[in-house]
Structure 1
Amino acid sequence: MESCRVHGGLAPLPVGGGVFLRPPIAAFRRNLRHGACAMAVGGRIAWDDVLELSSDGGRVSDLAGYFERVRCCNRGSENKDEFLPFLVEEQTVGYIHPSFVDQLKSFSDVFILKPGNDKGSRNATFITLHPLLRSSEERTMAVGDVIKAMGSRIPGIRNELYPVSSSFGQPAFFSLERAAAPYFGIKAYGVHMNGYVEKEDKRYLWIAKRSNNKPTYPGMLDHLVAGGLPHGISCKENIIKECQEEAGIPESISRRAVPVGAVSYVDIDGPRYKRDVLFCYDIRLPQEFVPKNEDGEVESFKLVPVEKVASIIRQGEFFKPNCALVIIDFLFRHGYVCPDDAGYLELLQLLRSGASS
């Protein structure tokens, strides 16, 4: 395990390239000071910008910046009582904002708004599926038709189905288009992997830069591999698939990925209620291995000392927000954050602010 007090580091090793318009560093610092999160901050990110930031980031154990990253994934808790429960077979599977419920009312053959028993509570009212939709297949098809009919009101359609259940591993009541998940407030799961290299007694992380053509968080930084967990595939199968597609990691290597826990968060933004659980993996890669993207979703990779990655995360919103949480968890597990650091236990707990089921 690394020492709890590691400083310095070698210069990053570049792989890939590209020319970008560089936003001023000062603009990112201003956004950070005013509490802006990546969800709301525009502009393209260039490698030179993040490496410049990483050169003056202070101590790895200064946790204030990590708390800010966690906060950016856990917004809007004061608004959660506005949402109506979404029930299937008397089990709560999600939460839907009244403005979105109003749009669903026109699909009365699929969705029904029902009063509960507690007449004095706003949330006595809940939304459920029509009782004639009895099987998972019928529900999936009917809800899918609604999503298609809503068109641009649900942007970023992926044609990828997420299971809808009361908790992880339980039978799915139906499957839902991935892009619609936050509008229905269902629990969504993903697999995220940190890939690291050890050489000359130092540890490095492979960092990816997202394609500028990605519909979400274009051009931002990621850890090596990540993907949502669709219906009908196990976590292990999914991490192997994503390793091949996103980083060109062959199965002979990706099978060495080790499950190391999970992080979770709840993010409420307008009518969107995200309840995400990310299963975390680590993989130690051979020094000679160089990742190569195969699905067009990653523009370039760099091998960066862990201390510099930590500094980048502390100083600004350069990483896709939930990926920052996974890397912070890596810093805990590998001894870069220690019990003597002020706020250690609180930060550790906040990394699992969301669902644990």
Structure 2
Amino acid sequence: MSLLDHIHTCNRWNPADFEPFVVGGERLGLVRRRFAKALTEGGGDFVRAEDGLHWVTAPADFDARSDAFAAHAADWDRRGLISHRHGERYPVLNAAGEARFLMDRAVAPYFGIRAFGQHLNGYVRRDDGLYLWVGRRSQSRRVAPGKLDHMVAGGLPWGVSLAENLRKECWEEAALPAAIADRARPVGIVAYCRDSDRGLKPDTIYCYDLELPDDISPRCNDDEVESFQLLPATEVMRIVDTSDAFKLNCNLVIIDFLMRHGLIGPEHPDYLALAHGLRSAPAVAQ
């Protein structure tokens, strides 16, 4: 395991395994071929053609299309074609970034829909260097139970601003009030595209830094995180560089933090590959 291994892992997928998802003449995502086949067996609202999987009966109206897709997702859930539904809705964007309808967060990977999230690096500055707050995910979490995580991280649902969502996540996951959450600095994005058990995840993460004084500590405020610990940033780097202890995408946000704060410098043999891979890594066939 190495820093660069995490970049590769988050960008490992084979384009040949997927076909376009087309709605109203627009390509909106990518669907695994075997899932597309399952949706079209027996005919119905979804049809496969040379240029991809078409939702041929999709309503033109935004709300009607969102409701119709939600009804399909509920049926797929009952039939076991998808693993579950989350309850939060993400926008389905076209190439111009325009929302065409809404899709449940848990269903988005089945259709290769780009999802957006926010990760916050909570850190403390001491005489001997930087320290990072690290959370441990609850064993009851559906995704990456027991893995290490950021102090605050979460998806960005439709209809909630970045600032509002960050305040919500800071309170729910770390009991940090809005006045502290608002001190967080946006520092860029991390993007990746990887194959997952549900399909394709072309995700974009908005990254934030929040410097905290020694007298303010996060505390568990829901069942998503079971504990927090404050670790030297050099120890966090060692963990990332030698293990898969962190939830997969957290590794990328941590690497970005370490590079921006000078703990990974140009002398690192993989410096350029890391810098490019955090935002523009190519597809890697499995």
TM-score, reference length from structure 1: 0.74
Report the secondary structure of 2:107's partner residue: helix
Residues 48-97 of structure 1: CA distance to partner in whole angstroms, max 9, x if unpaired? xxxxxxxxxxxxxxxxx101111221222xx2123111123333210011
Check if 1:182 corresponds to 2:115. no
Segments of structure 2 that go 5 or more residues without pairing to the other structure are: none
**Residue in structure 2 matching 1:134, options 49, 60, 70:** 60
Equivalence for 1:97: 32
Q: Is the 8 A contact 2:58 2:68 kept in 1?
A: no
Report matched runs for 1:51-62 at 5 Å: none
Partners in 2 of 1:167 and 1:293 — Cα distance? 39
**Residue in structure 2 matching 1:75, options 1, 9, 12:** 12
1:289 is aligned with what amino acid? I
**Residue in structure 1 matching 2:76, options 130, 140, 150:** 150
Partners in 1 of 2:281 and 2:67 — Cα distance? 29
Residues 105-155 of structure 1: CA distance to partner in whole angstroms, max 9, x if unpaired? 158554333x3xxxxxxxx42223235511111111111111111123322
Q: Is the 8 A contact 1:240 1:254 kept in 2?
A: yes
Residues 13-50 of structure 1: CA distance to partner in whole angstroms, max 9, x if unpaired? xxxxxxxxxxxxxxxxxxx5xxxxxxxxxxxxxxxxxx
Equivalence for 2:19: 84
Partners in 2 of 1:237 and 1:128 — Cα distance? 35
Q: Is the 8 A contact 1:96 1:271 kept in 2?
A: no
Shift of 1:269: 3.8
Report the secondary structure of 2:83's partner residue: coil
Equivalence for 2:241: 314
Equivalence for 2:223: 296
Equivalence for 1:225: 152
Report the secondary structure of 1:352's partner residue: helix
Report matched runs for 1:87-126 at 5 Å: 87-105=22-40, 110-113=45-48, 115=49, 124-126=50-52
1:214 is aligned with what amino acid? R
Identity of aligned residues (%): 40
The total of aligned residue pairs comes to: 280
Report the secondary structure of 1:266's partner residue: strand
Equivalence for 1:209: 136
Residues 271-326 of structure 1: CA distance to partner in whole angstroms, max 9, x if unpaired? 61110111101101121011112221000000000000000001110000101110
Q: Is the 8 A contact 2:4 2:273 kept in 1?
A: no
Report the secondary structure of 1:339's partner residue: coil
Residues 217-256 of structure 1: CA distance to partner in whole angstroms, max 9, x if unpaired? 0000001111111111122221111011010110011001
Report matched runs for 1:265-344 at 5 Å: 265-269=192-196, 272-344=199-271
Residues 306-352 of structure 1: CA distance to partner in whole angstroms, max 9, x if unpaired? 00000000111000010111000000100011112212111110111
Shift of 1:102: 1.7
Q: Is the 8 A contact 2:93 2:100 kept in 1?
A: yes
Check if 1:196 corresponds to 2:126. no
Shift of 1:201: 4.3
- Between 1:100-109 and 1:144-153, the stretch displaced more is 100-109
**Residue in structure 1 matching 2:100, options 164, 173, 178:** 173
Equivalence for 2:277: 350
**Residue in structure 2 matching 1:161, options 89, 92, 100:** 89
Partners in 2 of 1:354 and 1:131 — Cα distance? 35
Partners in 2 of 1:320 and 1:270 — Cα distance? 15
Runs of 4+ in 1 over 6 A off after TM superposition: none
The structure whose Rg is larger is 1
**Residue in structure 1 matching 2:175, options 243, 248, 253:** 248
- Between 1:260-269 and 1:89-98, the stretch displaced more is 89-98
Q: Going by fraction, where is strand more abundant, 1 or 2?
A: 2
TM-score, reference length from structure 2: 0.92
Report the secondary structure of 1:173's partner residue: strand
Partners in 2 of 1:91 and 1:239 — Cα distance? 32
Q: Is the 8 A contact 2:136 2:149 kept in 1?
A: yes
Q: Is the 8 A contact 1:66 1:328 kept in 2?
A: yes
1:87 is aligned with what amino acid? V
Q: Is the 8 A contact 1:75 1:269 kept in 2?
A: no
